[in-house]
Structure 1
């Protein structure tokens, strides 16, 4: 009975934004029913408590389950409060001429071009420095001739082997580039793929920067079935990938918080 009640409650919570005609892009600008978290938590807690036979553990887990599995919207801020933009890449295309993928860069691909277009639209409203993963920076340079763009490049070993930066690796490079500025690091406006941007904002913050998605600006949300990264070809696959990454970070935070000395 509890599982049926939870399923019915979940369906009701999901139906609210669906009834409003919410799309992946629109969901960022129209939050929908803000009572949904409370409703979901109320229904999840007894079910998980029964499954675990441990109400205390269930009470601790429910907020994390909601955050990772049900909340995909980043916190936003108006452009006037943002000092710079950080643009995170998403997917790519295999090298046009073939070759060893460990030593030949892939093509940036259409999703990263859409991300560059998003950066350009935002920059029309506020001219701030841009730190962009190289796949995006290439379009900012070639398509828009944009100035004040810092390209975050992969690491190339002496033998030519390329190590591509993770989301955290990009954030670390941006933090390093801005840490000694006279006015301080400042506040980042984060640009990223719709299903990636929440984690991009979180990761940017984890690297010691204030970070928000730019208020009023939707993010690209169309997947590229020809992406060279299989997990970025389909939404159902990517969401699992992103949740796994969120759980990994959360695990490290919880363990180190509970046992800071190991």
Structure 2
């Protein structure tokens, strides 16, 4: 397993270097402005606002990566050897103490798992967060899904796993990243970049299968408010990416704490 400090340092390296160079999108903004020019303008504006050109030069690439890069690195499904599926939102029940229902977005994610797996070798292992695993078993009849369940304390308190918690659990259940081989990540289209980053930070050789589009719809009735609307979720995801960068940068600069 990857210890916490190595995880944070690896997160920083991946987010700052690996992912932007592997993006599927063209190296230009929709308006035709080259990315390098956009970053340069961001750096100039930050330098003006902060009165510090060196700090602006440090920050601008990270702000560009977090705010403007959303397409994850991709490979053909046939080159990948396992599926790792991350859930998105849920539906609360009338009983506040009961486990939420998986919800329609996770049903769509299960459909994506099925489509991707059909392009992979027979018997490809699937590791899916429980909301997705539910539909894979009940609706699609898959018998060999490894479901990543919430953590239940002795007093019955349920802790739902973060993206990183799911990635960590997958590596543990698989017996290590070598046993997994290269994996295809299934996640909501706006969550997929962070799913890949987090999977890689946990040591996985993670990609998104290029042939199958990921769900982009939102559930206005989701029990997680940040997953009800795209504008809210993107803010949530950018904040999460920034916190990853923050923690990793601290671990890099102050490795002894």
Q: After superposition, where does 1:113-152 map in structure 2 within 5 Å?
A: 113-126=107-120, 127=122, 128-152=124-148
Following TM superposition, by how much is the alpha carbon of 1:178 offset from its aligned partner in structure 2, in angstroms?
1.9
Root mean square deviation, CA, Å: 1.6
Find the residue that maps to 1:171 and give its secondary structure: helix
Which residue among 215, 221, 231 is the counterpart of 1:226? 221
Gaps of 5+ in 1: 1-28
Could you tell me which residue of structure 2 aligns to residue 191 of structure 1? 186
Higher relative contact order (CA 8 A, sep 6+): 2
Which residue among 49, 52, 55 is the counterpart of 2:53? 55
Could you tell me which residue of structure 1 aligns to residue 212 of structure 2? 217
Could you tell me which residue of structure 1 aligns to residue 252 of structure 2? 257
Could you tell me which residue of structure 2 aligns to residue 11 of structure 1? none
Q: Which moved more, 1:154-163 or 1:116-125?
A: 154-163
Find the residue that maps to 1:146 and give its secondary structure: coil
Q: Is the 8 A contact 2:133 2:145 kept in 1?
A: yes
TM-score by length of 2: 0.85
Find the residue that maps to 2:118 and give its secondary structure: helix
In 1, Cα distance between the equivalents of 2:249 and 2:113? 34
Which residue among 196, 213, 238 is the counterpart of 1:243? 238
Following TM superposition, by how much is the alpha carbon of 1:141 offset from its aligned partner in structure 2, in angstroms?
0.2
Following TM superposition, by how much is the alpha carbon of 1:210 offset from its aligned partner in structure 2, in angstroms?
1.0
Q: Which moved more, 1:63-72 or 1:157-166?
A: 157-166
Following TM superposition, by how much is the alpha carbon of 1:123 offset from its aligned partner in structure 2, in angstroms?
1.2
- Could you give the per-residue CA deviations for residues 212-244 of structure 1, whole angstroms, max 9, x where no partner exists? 111122100011000010110001111111111
In 2, Cα distance between the equivalents of 1:37 and 1:216? 26
- Could you give the per-residue CA deviations for residues 120-166 of structure 1, whole angstroms, max 9, x where no partner exists? 11111113110000000000001111132100000112232211111
Gaps of 5+ in 2: 1-22
Find the residue that maps to 1:125 and give its secondary structure: coil
TM-score by length of 1: 0.83
Find the residue that maps to 2:208 and give its secondary structure: strand
In 2, Cα distance between the equivalents of 1:257 and 1:86? 28
